Amino acid sequence: MEQEANCKACETLGTPEQEAQLKALIEESKSTPGCLMHILQEAQGIYGYLPMQVQKTIAEGLGISLSEVYGVVTFYSQFSLTPKGKHKISVCLGTACYVKGSDKILAEVEKELGIKCGECTEDGLFSIDSCRCVGACGLAPVMTIGEEVYGKLTPDKVKGILDSYVNAEKAATAQDEEESK
């Protein structure tokens, strides 16, 4: 049943506002040579990722094949085929980090969040990815959450770091609720 619901979601273009934004973007950009990258970047900004239906709409709107759009999306690492969380976690698996135990950091993050690398939590708060190098080898092992870099990690530090984001979200939600009263 859940898989069926996910398939139905893939057949839509999100909210009516998102669909209108995408179609307007395609319409205003399609006469510009080489506009595919720009449209994909903007579409990912609208949706947070590039689901198949969005790719189909772009291909149809530009009069190009879906395989051409998909080829660009899968070639460039900046594009994502899966939803990303509000807080994007990336665990470095480069040589220096891996030698210092980043595989254990990744396993701990997965355990704490109940998802695997490449997935997003149900509440949309976190997503996990791995990367090959953050460029902070002296701080190995390293993970980033958004633009924040966490170095010299051990598995026992992971829960506290994640909890700080969860607590900040709870505080923000409480403040929003208080302000709306």
pLDDT digits (tens, 9 = 90+) for 62-97: 999 999 999 999 999 889 998 889 999 999 999 999
pTM summary value: 0.72
Among candidates 107, 106, 89, 83, which has minimal Cα distance to 166?
89
Among candidates 96, 6, 94, which has minimal Cα distance to 53?
6
- C-alpha span between 65 and 99 (Å, rounded): 43
Residue-wise pLDDT for 85-143, tens only, equals 999 999 999 999 999 999 999 999 999 999 999 999 999 999 999 999 999 999 999 99
Q: Are strands 87-92 and 126-131 parallel, antiparallel or unpaired?
A: parallel
Bridge partners for 126 per DSSP: 87
Residue 141, preceding bond cis, omega within 30 degrees?
A: yes
